[in-house]
């Protein structure tokens, strides 16, 4: 079995690895590190949670151990799609380069330009940045990329999803043609394939798992929920979520709950807090300092439930996450793999549950098609017991009973006098009206009560 000591890394880097408690590299590390140390371009394809970050940080530190950076001209560049992932990469450099004198700068949004400019002016060996903030510094004339020797693109497929590909192409054009490029992605979309063909030179391709597969250490389950009413879909999904968490009990030491929309992140977080759960939200609209505090609390075990948008689906390295709950089915099937990849990391067991409502079934079908596996169905907990906060009856599909029709009381005849003391005498109806038969002694349209003078005048006229 390959060990880190077999990979020709700098002795000071090996010392830091040993102090961190690692001895054996993961498959992506064992494949990528030797090729990177030889100066080759690397195309790494591996599912999330396989140790891609160390597969480029370790050879970079070894290669940069000699030399010195010049002002405003970083020697290496690492591009990350999100602030959280960039901050995690920076932490990895701190861990593995603590015995090597290397300087670094972290360029992300939400932090003062002035502080970042001060670091760049001194010169940095490693520059870790999100694409937007990096280009902001370049356009302000505070940064030159002509000294970049090693360039890393991490989570390239996520860059594609977030619309960063034009920025990536521009940044590539600003760096030297002779640079070494380390390119990592969990999936290989056609657009990603085009970029690698354009900007990588005869790369060593390391693919340690079939594209878009979930780790075998993750137990998956899907709960199909049919709301009793359309306007109660959200509340019933939140009830199902609470029952799933309760059913796991102490086995759910901590969990990440993913929502598709930022507004739902806030709603779910507030709902769980209302019911006494230790929960907090994280998404792109929150202040960076608040996001950092929330993540630190989750990593340190002070926060049990982290409700997140997909900003945290990639790069959140908390090895001991026990559960992942998909409150929504992701609209992009690839995101499912990255979401549930937050659990079951480093060989640990994990569980991932997905709540599916009728409108999301087409997305769920796409997920099963992508991972080429049927996700086991889990019984809806609302069927076994009536939820405490649902007003709908147990069988919500039953048609409500119609109220018994009552006969209206007859209205009194307005023409009758209320002061009449005696009942009106009923008289036999004369049926000789308009339907009466014609006769010689009968006048059409008249009854026996016709006055005599009228009858005589008619008779005289008829006789004449």
| Mean pLDDT value across residues 72-88 | 91
CATH class of residue range 218-384 = alpha beta
Maximum CA extent, the chain = 145
Tokens representing 34 are 């030797």
- What span, in angstroms and rounded, lies between the C-alpha atoms of 233 and 422? 66
Dihedral sign from CA coordinates of 85, 202, 39, 145: negative
Question: Which segments of 300-360 does DSSP mark as H helices, in order?
Answer: 333-340
Alpha-carbon torsion (201, 205, 206, 212), positive or negative: positive
- C-alpha distances in Å from residue 212, one per residue of 51, 102, 373, 451: 16, 35, 11, 105
User: What are the strands of the beta sheet with 218-224, ordered from one edge?
Assistant: 218-224, 350-356, 323-326, 255-258, 305-308, 279-282
Q: Structural domain boundaries of the chain?
A: 4-207, 218-384
In tens, the pLDDT along 60-70 reads 999 998 878 78
195-199, 210-214, 272-276, 308-312: least confidently modelled range: 210-214
What's the CA gap between 162 and 198, in Å, rounded?
20
Distance, first Cα to last Cα, the chain: 138
State the Cα–Cα distance between residues 168 and 398, nearest whole angstrom.
Answer: 56
CA-nearest of 155, 135, 107, 127 to 60 is: 127
Calculate the CA 71 to chain-centre distance. 41
Query: Which pLDDT score, from 0 to 100, does residue 46 have?
Result: 81
Q: Say whether 164 sits in a helix, a strand or coil.
A: coil
Indicate whether 143 pLDDT > 80.
yes
The secondary structure of 331-347 as a DSSP string is SSHHHHHHHHTTSSGGG
Between the alpha carbon of residue 44 and those of residues 47, 127, 158, 195, 418, the distances in Å are: 10, 21, 14, 14, 99
For residue range 281-306, list pLDDT tens digits in order: 998 778 878 888 898 899 889 999 99
393: confidence class by pLDDT, cuts 50, 70, 90: very low
Q: Give the C-alpha separation, 118 to 325, whole Å.
A: 42
Rounded Cα gap, residues 71 and 57, in angstroms: 22
Please give the share of the chain, as a percent, with pLDDT higher than 90.
52
Residue 147 has pLDDT above 70, yes or no: yes
Average pLDDT over residues 129-138: 94
Render pLDDT for 8-25 as a digit per residue (tens, 0 to 9). Answer: 999 999 999 999 988 899
User: Counting Cβ atoms within 10 Å, is residue 189 exposed (0-12), middle (13-18) or buried (19+)?
Assistant: middle
Q: Are 180 and 39 in contact (CB under 8 A)?
A: yes
Model pTM above 0.75: no
> 450 near 439, Cβ under 8 Å?
no
pLDDT exceeds cutoff 90 at 82: no
Domains 4-207 and 218-384 share a fold: yes
CB distance 104 to 74 below 8 Å: no
Helices of type H across 140-261? 156-161, 165-174, 190-199, 233-248
C-alpha atoms less than 13 angstroms from C-alpha of 26 in its C-beta half-sphere: 22
Cα–Cα dist 139/311, whole Å:
26
| pLDDT at residue 309 is higher than 60 | yes
Name the residue among 256, 260, 247 with its Cα closest to residue 295: 256
Q: What is the mean pLDDT of the chain?
A: 82
**Tokens 């997909």 — which residue?**
310
Residue 106: name the closest of 118, 97, 98, 96 by CA.
Answer: 118
In this structure, what token pair is assigned to residue 208? 């340690």
pLDDT at 326: 97
The yes-or-no verdict on residue 404 having pLDDT over 50 is no
- CA dihedral in degrees (335, 336, 338, 341; nearest 10)? 170
Superfamily of domain 4-207: P-loop containing nucleotide triphosphate hydrolases (3.40.50.300)
Confidence at residue 41, expressed as pLDDT on a 0 to 100 scale: 97
CB–CB of 364/329 below 8 Å? yes
**pLDDT tens across 35-59, in order?**
999 999 999 998 766 788 999 999 9
396 — pLDDT class (breaks 50, 70, 90): very low
Classified as helix, coil or strand, 49 is coil
């Amino acid at each position: 079995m390959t060990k880190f000591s077999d990979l020709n890394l700098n002795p000071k880097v090996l010392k830091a690895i040993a102090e961190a408690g690692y001895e054996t590299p993961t498959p992506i590390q064992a494949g990528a590190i030797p090729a990177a140390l030889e100066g080759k371009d690397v195309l790494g394809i591996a599912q999330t949670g396989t140790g891609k970050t160390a597969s480029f940080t370790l050879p970079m530190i070894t290669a940069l151990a000699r030399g010195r950076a010049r002002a405003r001209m970083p020697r290496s560049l690492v591009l990350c799609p999100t602030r959280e992932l960039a901050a995690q990469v920076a932490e990895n450099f701190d861990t593995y380069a603590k015995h090597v004198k290397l300087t670094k700068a972290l360029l992300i949004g939400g932090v003062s330009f002035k502080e970042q400019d001060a670091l760049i002016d001194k010169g940095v060996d490693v520059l870790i940045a999100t694409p937007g903030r990096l280009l902001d510094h370049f356009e302000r004339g505070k940064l030159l990329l002509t000294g970049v020797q090693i360039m890393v693109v991490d989570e390239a497929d996520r860059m594609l999803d977030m619309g960063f590909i034009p920025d990536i192409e521009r940044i590539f054009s600003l760096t030297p043609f002779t640079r070494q490029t380390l390119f990592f992605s969990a999936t290989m979309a056609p657009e990603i394939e085009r970029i690698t063909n354009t900007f990588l030179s005869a790369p060593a391709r390391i693919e340690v798992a079939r594209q878009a597969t979930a780790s075998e250490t993750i137990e998956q389950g899907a709960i199909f929920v049919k709301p009793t009413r359309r306007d109660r879909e959200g509340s019933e999904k939140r009830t199902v979520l609470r029952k799933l968490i309760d059913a796991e009990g102490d086995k759910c030491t901590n969990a990440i709950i993913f929502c598709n929309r930022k507004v739902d992140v806030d709603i779910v977080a507030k709902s769980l807090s209302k019911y006494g759960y230790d929960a907090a939200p994280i998404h792109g609209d929150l202040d960076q300092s608040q996001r950092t505090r929330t993540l630190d609390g989750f990593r340190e075990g002070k926060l049990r439930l982290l409700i997140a948008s997909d900003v945290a689906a990639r790069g959140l390295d908390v090895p001991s996450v026990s559960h992942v709950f998909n409150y929504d089915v992701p609209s992009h099937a690839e995101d499912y793999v990255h979401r549930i990849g937050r659990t079951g990391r480093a060989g640990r067991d994990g569980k991932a549950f997905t709540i599916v409502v009728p409108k999301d079934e087409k997305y769920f079908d796409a997920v099963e098609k992508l991972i080429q596996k049927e996700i086991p169905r889990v019984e809806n907990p609302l069927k076994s017991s009536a939820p405490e906060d649902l007003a709908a009856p147990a069988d919500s599909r039953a048609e409500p009973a119609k109220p018994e029709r009552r006969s209206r009381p007859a209205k009194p005849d307005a023409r009758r006098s209320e002061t009449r003391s005696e009942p009106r005498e009923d008289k036999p109806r004369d049926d000789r009206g308009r339907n009466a038969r014609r006769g010689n002694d009968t006048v059409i349209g008249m009854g026996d009560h016709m006055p005599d003078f009228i009858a005589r005048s008619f008779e005289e006229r008829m006789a004449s």
